[in-house]
Every structure is written in C-alpha cells, then in structure tokens.
Copies of this chain bind each other. A is one copy, B any other.
C-alpha cells in the first residue's frame, strides 16, 4: 500500500485536531484514498510543552528545515498561524515540490495570489478550505457545485466571535463591553479582540471568498471595513421595531464587471435565513443568477471542525497524487479587478439621530434627504423624556454611497441635529 508522507506545521488547536482525525478515522481515510497517511514530522515552537493529543515525541521538531528540506515529505500541512513565517514556509515548501494544505486566512489574504500562482507553475496542489468558515465546505461549493452559475452576491457571517457577541447583545439586551468580557472569559474572544471586533478577520475571509466567487484578484485593501464596537442595544431594539436583525456581514457583490467588497454591521430583514445563524456559528449566503439563493451553515472555527476541512483537503491532494493530476484544480483569477465607485454602490440605509423637539425639525431633516434625492421608506420619531429632544429613526429607500455621504455631511452641519448616533446598511433582498 502506498504511504503518503506528511509534514505538519503547528500543533495548536487545529494541528491537534488534524492528528486526532488522522488517528481516529484511519479506516474511512484508507477507504477514500487507498493510501496510508503518515505524519513524518511536526513543527512546533516548544518540544516540551504539554499537549492534549498523543504524538510520538520523536516526530516533534523546532526546525522548519526538517520539513521543508525533507525529501521524503510530499505534503505540507500549515496550521501554525501568523503571516510571515507561514508565508516563507509555504513558499519554500512549494519551491521544493511539496503540495500544501493550509488553514491560514491571514497569510492567504496577503500572499494567496502569489502562492497560488507559484503552485500552478510548479504543478502542485495548494488547498485552503479551512481558511474560511472552518467546518463549512464553502470554497469547494463555489469552485465546483456552483461552478456553472454566475454568482452576483455573497453575504457571510464569517466571524464567530462577533456573531456570538451580537447574539448575546440581542437576546439578553446587554451592552457590547459586557458581552465581550464574557466572551473572553469563555474563550470565544481573544484577550486582544480587535482583529475580530473591528472586522479585520472577516475582511480577510470575504476577500478570499470574493476572489473565488468572481474570479478577480480582490485584495484585503479593497475591503471597506467597519466593526461592531459602536453598536448599542438601543440600535438593535429600534432596528427590531422595523423588522430587522443586526449581523456583522462580509458582503461581496458584482454588477456586470465591477465589484464591491465590505465588512460592516448590516440590518437584515428578520425572515432572512442569515438571521437564524446564532452564537458562534458561521454561514455564507450565495446569490447566483441561475441557482437563486443557497446558504452554507456550520461551525466557523474550533479544533475538530477546522481539522475536518484540512484533512478533507489532504484527501483531495492524495487522490490527485494517485491519479497524477495535481496542480490542475487552480482558481487563478481570470478577470481584471474593477471596484465600484461610490456612485455605483446601492443600498438602503438606517439613520438614527437625536434632534431638537421643536416644530419644523422633521421638515429640516427631510429637506436634506430630498436634496440628496433619497426618498424615505420608514420613519419613527420618539420624544426623549429627559431633555427637549426627540429620537428620530429613518430607513431610506435605495440610495448610493455618494448620496448617503452627502446626507451625513449635511445632517452633521444642521444645528437642530444634536447627534447622528448611528448609521447602518440595510439589506432587504430575501
């Protein structure tokens, strides 16, 4: 029986999961590939660290050369995280003729296009299903299952930490800071939560998804990013009255040959299936010209779910090795990247502001929207008890971002508007 020799880089949460699946599902894996999958070396930072998975201590090494320069190793699994070290390791692995499976979205968002091109030149596989929405086979579905369709929009809940926080804020009516502290205690959020709560993590994932969905070299810098720190439970309650739920959405949309890519808090109609995605779960909602709407739901992270994606990719590499067809399933972007101008990005908007509670206030505010040619869909005005002010909430009809920015500027200059408290994109498409 053929033995496929693997170098595993990283033995943290995901690495330990990979080892467990290779140990526990041997029978199934052998049935799938006809081969024995053998981990030859494991790259770690500290050989003596106690781990919650059993491995032969002789396999451990702290030198990447033991993997990258090891001629017996045919496949490198990179689950160590970080950007630069991982990039160099993957690059050297490919240069030395090794197939790569990686779960590293941070590194791919930065260097993925270059590494994919290198793998293609070398005729090697480089798979990365685990890098987006861990346990959900979304990349495969875009590349294969929906390959014959033309996709025009993706909306993804692709960060479990922020979805957990928003779920708790909504269900328990607790503030952001309070829920964040709890999430940190439970291990759902990092000590430094900024990459999650400020949207960077989601931005990397939506960049990778947009690349595949639209076959365009979308970069991290192309993603407009806004996190969830400023969301209040009052915003959520008012949105609820209008029939919306708040979610942090990675959005990628194409009209003709131009795209927009963003991460921001979005108000979705309550009957949208993404609103049923709660706690740390992820989901990606896909709109295709022909297929209509599909959604892929599952755990976005976690040791074993992510490891399933890694090992399923490994099975793909091994099958290709047996068939002799590695390096043929590439998705090199085919179209030049064209980003939409502000005037081409349309949505509805939710405005919430505090204004003077005097006659004529609403007329003044309305004038500003009218002069920007934005018509209003829903309006709510509530008097504030304490002060002589009113809370005004407006949901507009479709408007483009340039119109919207004009309104924001003018509202900020209007003396009767004391505070423009919050503004959210609204998505009403089913």
Contacts and interface: CB of A to CB of B under 8 A. Distances in A.
Contacts of A148: 21, 25, 28-29, 32, 308, 311-312, 314-315
B312 A290 contact: no
Contacts of A289: 24, 304
Interface stretch (A291-299, A342-350, A396-404): A291-299
Given A29-B148, A215-B31, A308-B146, A136 B294 contact: yes
A290 B273 contact: no
Considering residues A21, A278, A292, A323, which has the most beta carbons from chain B within 10 angstroms of its beta carbon?
Answer: A292
A260 interface: no
A366 interface: no
A62 interface: no
Interface string A54-70: 00000000000000000
A131 to B, nearest CB: 14
B315 A147 contact: yes
Contacts of A276: 273, 275-276
Contacts of A391: none
Contacts of A292: 135, 298-299, 302, 304-305
A325 interface: yes
A193 interface: no
A17 interface: yes
Task: For chain A, give the interface size range.
Answer: 35 or more
B141 A145 contact: yes
A298 B293 contact: yes
Given A141-B145, A148-B21, A148-B314, A299 B291 contact: yes
B315 A290 contact: no
Nearest to A302: B292
A308 B328 contact: no
Contacts of A25: 148-150, 290
A4 to B, nearest CB: 14
Contacts of A129: 145
A316 interface: yes
A137 interface: yes
A427 to B, nearest CB: 17
Nearest to A135: B291
Interface string A37-72: 000000000000000000000000000000000000
A140 interface: yes
Interface in A346-384: none
Contacts of A31: 215, 334
Interface of A: 17, 20-21, 24-25, 28-29, 31-32, 129, 135-137, 140-141, 144-150, 215, 271, 273, 275-278, 283, 288-299, 302, 304-305, 307-309, 311-312, 314-316, 319, 323, 325, 328, 334
Q: Which 6 A-B pairs have the closest CB atoms?
A: A137-B145, A294-B298, A148-B311, A276-B276, A290-B304, A295-B297
